[in-house]
């Protein structure tokens, strides 16, 4: 049961990472150049195959202004406005 919870949490983190990238309208390649993370590692994070490391999460924070609370816990209160707006547009498009 714990493994299932952990897998679900990793997938949720991956979904937020992908949504953040898409909110900024970046391809994986351009995103990875911007944040300084290898594309293979990033792909594993987005797909929920691996949990993003703190070092890589901090690179995302530095490059985008999102907080660790958003990445790891889904707390959106301190998201930069452009990312917040992009996420809202993505959500509308999925409805």
**Chain segment 9-58, per-residue pLDDT in tens:** 999 999 999 999 999 999 999 999 999 999 999 999 999 999 999 999 99
pTM: 0.91
Domain positions in the chain: 2-94
Question: Tokens 């898409």 label which residue?
Answer: 22
| Among 2, 20, 40, residue whose Cα is nearest residue 86 | 20
**Chain segment 60-82, per-residue pLDDT in tens:** 999 999 999 999 999 999 899 99
The one-character DSSP state at 76 is -
Q: Which of the following CATH numbers is that of domain 2-94: 1.10.3720.10, 1.10.260.40, 3.30.1490.100, 1.10.486.10?
A: 1.10.260.40
């Amino acid at each position: 049961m714990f493994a299932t919870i952990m897998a679900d949490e990793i997938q949720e983190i991956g979904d937020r990472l992908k949504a953040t990238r898409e909110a900024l309208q970046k391809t994986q390649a351009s995103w990875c150049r911007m944040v300084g993370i290898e594309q293979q590692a990033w792909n594993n994070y987005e797909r929920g195959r691996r949990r993003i490391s703190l070092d890589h999460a901090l690179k995302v924070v530095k490059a985008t202004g999102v907080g660790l609370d958003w990445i790891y816990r889904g707390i959106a209160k301190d998201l930069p406005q452009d990312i917040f707006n992009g996420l809202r547009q993505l959500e509308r498009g999925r409805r």
